[in-house]
């Protein structure tokens, strides 16, 4: 369990909070390019780390990210006019460029220079790897973009999705660091179930429901190996990476590789980005169809929103007949089962009430690392991982192997755990 003080430290991400300042030391996925599809398109609202912001793509195609409240009288710039390389407030016409400079102040006399003294809060952005990134930290400590493998492949080789969870980022991330739940939450009863089947080693999940976890801290965060007995002297190993601040690089033997990123909207909501990709070829039609179905790695979304179709207002479409006859939860869809459970804990989980077991060691480790780094940032320390994007060139692992210990497994599969160095950043869309 955590103390009440540590739970507050872990979960609060607004301006000036220790954890919020840690997140502000990293580039964070913020938008899909489709949200800002063309120059001078409609601005969009977004909330990140407890800050209300407006994004726009200017006439030259550059993406600006500004504080929503105008520097003049705090009118919302979401209602602004996106025109001629700037966003113009409709209240009094003040206009800002992508860097926050006030480039026009028409309610002042023509000879006034006051506009040159106004610098509206603005944050750097980068468009790379199928995502628009934002950096909300100190200007003198701008980090490197993380060299995650999905960001280094062509657009045709990846699919990027985004949705919202109405919970704190920490409990969403912790679900990815918990291997034992898969044998229960995602179990199906019927071999010929009406539910879409997992394309992973289903029989091995059922053979050993109590995996042994081993954790290693790394320069980029950490990894953990989950070991199950596979019979005949073999072990079923899954190696999952947790990359700072909140990426989970998940193993899968048959489907494309995938990664989830959990970006705090505020203390009570989280943006989730899913990156599903192949290193060497485009995603094919069957894979795209599976992802679009909502049964695998991307949930169904309410049209025109980023809210999941299964949500707290409809009890996550819980079907008790399905629970009796087809699967353990009565909820359709692997990821949608995860979504229901993390929401069932409330917007911010009370970790003072927990009773943890050895299967929770990866969760415990991630909490300790985040808390330690947040405290170090408060003391003026730099975050090593944020300044070394090459550390993120790692891969997860799903393998049946005779090794009993994690160090031996990692040594035997060293090449498979590292993204190839020949990946060309220039090829990334």
DSSP class of residue 112 equals -
Within a 10 A sphere around the Cβ of 203, how many other Cβ atoms? Answer: 9
Query: Could you give the residue ranges of the DSSP H alpha helices within 281-356?
Result: 285-293, 320-325, 334-344
Q: Which helix (H) or strand (E) covers residue 247, if one does? A: strand 247-250
Rounded Cα distance, 190 and 202, in Å = 12
CB proximity list for 156: less than 8 A, separation 6 or greater = 282, 283
User: Which band of pLDDT confidence, cut at 50, 70 and 90, is reported for residue 199?
Assistant: very low
Rounded Cα distance, 207 and 333, in Å = 22
Digit-coded pLDDT (tens) for 63-75? 999 999 999 999 9
Proportion of the chain above pLDDT 70, given as a percent: 93
Instruction: State the CATH class of domain 149-427.
Output: alpha beta
pLDDT of residue 56: 98
183 pLDDT more than 80: no
pLDDT of residue 205: 65
117 pLDDT more than 70: yes
User: Which band of pLDDT confidence, cut at 50, 70 and 90, is reported for residue 324?
Assistant: very high
DSSP class of residue 84 equals S
The residue-averaged pLDDT of 286-310 equals: 86
Q: Please provide the average confidence, as pLDDT, over all residues in the chain.
A: 91
Minimum mean pLDDT among 93-102, 290-299, 338-347, 416-425: which range? 416-425
User: Which band of pLDDT confidence, cut at 50, 70 and 90, is reported for residue 427?
Assistant: very low
Domain regions of the chain by residue span: 30-134, 149-427
pTM for this prediction: 0.92
pLDDT of residue 30: 98
The residue-averaged pLDDT of 2-30 equals: 97
**Would you state the CATH architecture of domain 30-134?**
3-layer Sandwich (2.102)
Question: 119, 102 in Cβ contact below 8 A?
Answer: yes
Digit-coded pLDDT (tens) for 238-249? 999 999 999 999
Residue 399 pairs with which residues in a beta bridge?
A: 237
Proportion of the chain above pLDDT 90, given as a percent: 76
The residue-averaged pLDDT of 399-418 equals: 93
Minimum mean pLDDT among 110-114, 162-166, 254-258: which range? 254-258
* Cα→Cα distances 38→9, 29, 45, 205, 304, Å: 40, 19, 16, 46, 18
Question: 349, 339 in Cβ contact below 8 A?
Answer: no
Minimum mean pLDDT among 40-49, 228-237, 266-275: which range? 228-237
SS3 57: strand
The residue-averaged pLDDT of 223-237 equals: 91
The residue-averaged pLDDT of 393-405 equals: 93
Dump the DSSP string for 113-181.
-GGGG-B--EE-EEEETTEEEE--S-GGG--PPP--GGGGS-GGGEEEEEEEESS-HHHHHHHHT--TT
Rounded Cα distance, 231 and 360, in Å = 24
């Amino acid at each position: 369990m955590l103390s009440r003080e540590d739970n507050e430290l872990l979960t609060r991400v607004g301006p000036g909070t220790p954890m919020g300042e840690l997140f502000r030391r990293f580039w964070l996925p913020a938008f899909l390019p489709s949200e800002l599809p063309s120059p001078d398109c409609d601005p969009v609202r977004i909330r990140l780390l407890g800050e209300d912001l407006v994004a726009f793509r200017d006439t030259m195609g550059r993406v600006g990210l500004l504080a929503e409240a105008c520097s003049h009288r705090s009118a919302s710039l979401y209602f602004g006019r996106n025109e001629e390389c700037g966003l113009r407030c409709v209240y009094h016409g003040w206009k800002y460029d992508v860097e926050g400079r006030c480039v026009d102040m028409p309610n002042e006399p023509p000879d006034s220079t006051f506009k040159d003294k106004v610098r509206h809060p603005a944050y750097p952005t980068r468009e790379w790897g199928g995502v628009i990134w934002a950096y909300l930290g100190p200007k003198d400590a701008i980090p490197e973009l993380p060299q995650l493998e999905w960001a280094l492949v062509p657009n045709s080789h990846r699919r990027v999705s985004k949705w919202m969870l109405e919970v704190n980022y920490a409990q969403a991330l912790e679900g990815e660091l918990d291997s034992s739940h898969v044998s229960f939450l995602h179990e199906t009863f019927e071999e010929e179930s009406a539910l879409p089947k997992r394309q992973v080693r289903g029989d091995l999940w059922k053979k050993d429901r109590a995996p042994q976890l081993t954790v290693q801290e790394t320069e980029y965060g950490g990894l953990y190996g989950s070991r199950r007995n596979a019979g005949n002297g073999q072990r079923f190993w899954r190696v999952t990476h947790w990359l700072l601040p909140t990426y989970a690089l998940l193993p899968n033997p048959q489907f494309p590789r995938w990664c989830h990123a959990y970006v705090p909207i505020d203390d009570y909501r989280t943006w989730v980005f899913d990156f599903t990709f192949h290193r060497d070829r485009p995603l094919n039609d069957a894979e795209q169809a599976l992802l679009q179905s909502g049964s695998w790695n991307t949930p169904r979304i309410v049209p025109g929103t980023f809210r999941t179709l299964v949500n707290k207002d409809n009890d996550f479409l819980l079907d008790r007949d399905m629970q009796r006859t087809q699967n353990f939860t009565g909820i359709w869809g692997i990821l949608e089962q995860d979504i229901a459970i993390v929401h069932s804990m409330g917007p911010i989980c009370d970790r003072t009430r927990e009773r943890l077991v050895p299967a929770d060691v990866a969760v415990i480790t991630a909490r300790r690392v985040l808390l330690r780094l947040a405290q170090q940032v408060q003391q003026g320390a730099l975050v090593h991982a944020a300044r070394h994007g090459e550390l993120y060139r790692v891969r997860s692992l799903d393998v049946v192997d005779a090794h009993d210990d994690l160090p031996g497994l990692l040594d035997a599969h060293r090449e498979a755990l590292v993204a190839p160095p020949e990946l060309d950043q220039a090829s990334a869309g």
